[in-house]
Amino acid sequence: MKITNVRPILTAPDGIALVIVKVETDQPGLYGVGCATFTQRPTLVAKAVEEYLAPLLKGRDPANIEDLWHLMYVNSYWRNGPVLNNAISGVDEALWDIKGKVANMPVYDLLGGKCRDAAMVYRHADGREPKEVLDNVLKYQAEGALAVRLQMGGYGGRVKDINKKNSRPTKKAPQATHRMKSMDNPQGNFPGAYYDPDWYARSIPPLFDYVRSKIGFDLFLLHDIHERLAPIDAIRMAKELEQYRLFFLEDPLAPDQIEWFRRLREQSATPIAMGELHNNPLEWKPLIAEQLIDFIRSHISQLGGITPARKLAALCEAFGVRTAWHGPGDTSPVGHAANLHLDLACQNFGIQEMIFFGDPLKEVFPGIPELHNGYLWPNDKPGLGIDIDEKKAAKYPISIPPIEWTQSRWPDGTIWTP
């Protein structure tokens, strides 16, 4: 069996640019699909697949997944960048899909079989004020959710109205603080997504206090700092949130702030999750080996697919770290399916982030995993169990507008990590 073609498919059924890689073989009707979605740079990933990986892989045996992964990884000499890693992921997941179809087995069986029948997931409850957040929590709880992430005012207390030169907050932005409302300059002089870290740091502990007072402790609660606090403020928040027993606190610090992770670990018992920005093994090795985190949150297409992710999961198991793969709206349904197969096969699974799959996504991607009572269930079909309808995908072309949310700024205009 030989690879005859490797090509990217770009589509945006829910308005988010998704990149899927299709690997075709010389066996009639046998192909695989994989997720290569890097929403911020979709056309670069597509070019990497078309111009570099496809010529490299044509004519090779798709069964040799490990060898082909390393071939793609080292072929450009420089490595561990998000564009190439996502391109490699698309191919890697497609190769696992092919292998499962040839064996007539789901990928989780190829990985050693199921440790569980379904994966517990968490939902996102957002809002501009505590009552709105609580209403969303109660809605998800009524739908059977077991775990919910609480966010208020966007990541870091973003003031959505301040995003254009010389614009000012309005009454529609209750999260805008007195300090931000009263500033004349330089607020708004630089375009971007403005937020107030001081307001944010003071508002989140009371939010959890309010929600816990209404629902008690039977529901798992989570929160994502998204790196939007100074390290000392992140430590303070982790300590203040201990009494609310979070399932985990995500991304309190940037990936390169290892010394601050050590200080955080010494001072707080709040479980910590980290990983969605990781590209390079050197970024996660100290966090895991020194047991500075409790959950690995890696975005598996950022790592290069299932092949490196299963090795990362095994490393985590040795140090008591559980998996919680990144699964936001800019992960394609194919990527969510790959996450689920790892979730089922890894003994040290913790929880899975997931989104609501709308009708356009279900139309384009037949075989999407199903949510029931707080758990994501596989369909047990061979391979990844999911496909892409290319004719329907073509109905939803991608667009590439300027990205605003990554232009995060403090009140004085200083750019900060998104």
pLDDT tens, 372-381? Answer: 999 999 999 9
Per-residue model confidence (pLDDT) at position 187: 59
Helix (H, G, I), strand (E, B) or coil at 397: coil
The Cα–Cα gap between 136 and 388 comes to 31
pLDDT digit string (tens) for 266-323? 999 999 999 999 988 888 999 999 999 999 999 999 999 999 999 999 999 999 999 9
Give yes or no: residues 54 and 191 share one domain.
Answer: no
Q: Is 184 exposed, middle or buried (0-12, 13-18, 19+ CB in 10 A)?
A: exposed
Q: Which residues pair with 234 in a beta bridge?
A: none
On the question of pLDDT at 396 being above 80, the answer is: yes
Q: How far apart are the first and last CA of the chain?
A: 45
Residue 4 binned pLDDT confidence (cut-offs 50, 70, 90) = very high
Give yes or no: residues 235 and 126 share one domain.
Answer: yes
Task: Evaluate whether residue 244 is within a structural domain.
Answer: yes
Domain boundary among 70, 105, 140: 105
Task: Evaluate whether residue 164 is within a structural domain.
Answer: yes
Q: Which domain holds residue 216?
A: 119-383
Task: Evaluate whether residue 205 is within a structural domain.
Answer: yes
In the numeric block, the tokens 């020194």 are attached to 290
Give yes or no: residues 373 and 277 share one domain.
Answer: yes
Residue of 412 and 316 predicted with greater confidence: 316
Task: Evaluate whether residue 48 is within a structural domain.
Answer: yes
Provide the token pair at 163.
């995003």
**Which CATH number covers residue 11?**
3.30.390.10
Is residue 130 within 8 A of residue 212, CB to CB? The reply is no
Alpha carbon distances (Å) from 173 to 129, 132, 198: 10, 14, 16
pLDDT digit string (tens) for 49-62? 999 999 999 999 99
Task: Evaluate whether residue 403 is within a structural domain.
Answer: no
410, amino acid identity: W
Is residue 350 within 8 A of residue 324, CB to CB? The reply is yes
**Which CATH number covers residue 357?**
3.20.20.120
- CB atoms inside a 10 Å sphere around CB 356: 10
The Cα–Cα gap between 152 and 154 comes to 5
Task: Evaluate whether residue 184 is within a structural domain.
Answer: yes
Domain boundary among 51, 74, 105: 105
Give yes or no: residues 345 and 233 share one domain.
Answer: yes
Helix intervals (H) in 104-151:
107-110, 130-142
Give yes or no: residues 319 and 197 share one domain.
Answer: yes
Task: Evaluate whether residue 176 is within a structural domain.
Answer: yes
Q: Which residues are catalytic?
A: 155, 226
Rounded average pLDDT over 178-192: 57
Is residue 272 within 8 A of residue 248, CB to CB? The reply is yes
Helix (H, G, I), strand (E, B) or coil at 28: coil
Rounded average pLDDT over 353-358: 91
Task: Evaluate whether residue 408 is within a structural domain.
Answer: no
Give yes or no: residues 180 and 241 share one domain.
Answer: yes
Q: Checking DSSP bridges between strand 322-323 and strand 295-296, what pairing results, if any?
A: parallel
Per-residue model confidence (pLDDT) at position 400: 86
Give yes or no: residues 100 and 177 share one domain.
Answer: no
Domain boundary among 71, 105, 139: 105
Percent of all residues in the chain with a pLDDT value above 90, rounded to a whole number:
80
Give yes or no: residues 222 and 158 share one domain.
Answer: yes
User: 213: which DSSP letter?
Assistant: H
Rounded average pLDDT over 333-339: 98
Helix (H, G, I), strand (E, B) or coil at 55: helix
Give yes or no: residues 99 and 138 share one domain.
Answer: no
Give yes or no: residues 257 and 330 share one domain.
Answer: yes
Give yes or no: residues 283 and 169 share one domain.
Answer: yes
377, amino acid identity: W
Tally of domains within the chain: 2
Give yes or no: residues 154 and 289 share one domain.
Answer: yes
Per-residue model confidence (pLDDT) at position 27: 98
